[in-house]
């Protein structure tokens, strides 16, 4: 059963993200979809991130979305919710440990960027409402090629 996407309030954009691994560790991919309050897709990404465990993939999907937000004219000055399906990854973003040494650089990078991107927050979002980004992450972990596309 596919979950229902819940739109953000009209002042926000919402970036749903997911990470996927073929094994743990194994080929890992990240995926994301940025939408406005009307559900209009503004950006999608699907990227291979190497051999990772599942927790690393969940951190790298958040980092990819933050990097896209930091570098885009579409998101400049906008309030953005990055919704992850990993409670653990979200807790690490907000200073509740690192999980493993493999995550330290990525988590520090996320925390530093969030200090400068004050209008970006990372929240937990249940897996059941994340089916489109799950498909994008699995696509990348299957080595089907990277995509980053912004609407025009």
Question: Structural domain boundaries of the chain?
Answer: 12-150
Residues in the chain: 152
Nearest to 94 by CA among 59, 69, 60: 59
**Residue 123 vs residues 7, 27, 143, 147: alpha-carbon distances, Å:** 14, 25, 28, 24
Segment among 50-59, 76-85, 97-106, 132-141 with least mean pLDDT: 97-106
Mean pLDDT over each residue of the chain, to the nearest integer = 89
Tokens of 18: 């997911």
Structure confidence by residue, pLDDT tens digits, 104-119: 999 999 999 999 888 9
Distance CA 87, CA 9 (A): 22
Better pLDDT: 74 or 120: 120
Query: Which element (helix H / strand E) includes 51?
Result: strand 41-52
d(CA 34, CA 11): 14
Q: Does residue 5 surpass a pLDDT of 90?
A: no
pTM above 0.85, yes or no: yes
* pLDDT number for residue 63: 97
CATH number for the segment(s) 12-150? 3.30.420.10
Lowest mean pLDDT among 20-24, 59-63, 134-138: 20-24
Determine the 3-state secondary structure of 27 from DSSP. strand
Alpha helices in 4-130, H assignment, sequence order: 54-71, 87-93, 104-116
């Amino acid at each position: 059963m596919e979950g229902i996407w819940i739109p953000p309030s009209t002042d926000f954009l919402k970036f749903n993200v997911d990470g996927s691994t073929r094994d743990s560790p194994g080929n890992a991919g990240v995926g994301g979809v940025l939408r406005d309050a009307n559900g209009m897709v503004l950006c999608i990404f699907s990227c291979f991130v190497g051999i990772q465990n599942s927790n690393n993939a969940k951190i790298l999907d958040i980092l990819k979305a933050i990097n896209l937000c930091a570098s885009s004219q579409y998101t400049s000055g906008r309030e953005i919710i990055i919704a992850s399906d990993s409670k653990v990854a979200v807790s690490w973003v907000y200073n509740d440990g690192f999980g493993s040494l493999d995550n330290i650089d990525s988590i520090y990078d996320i925390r530093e960027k969030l200090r400068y991107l004050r209008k970006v927050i990372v929240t937990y979002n249940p897996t059941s409402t994340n089916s489109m980004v799950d498909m994008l992450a699995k696509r990348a972990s299957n080595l089907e090629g990277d995509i980053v596309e912004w609407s025009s």
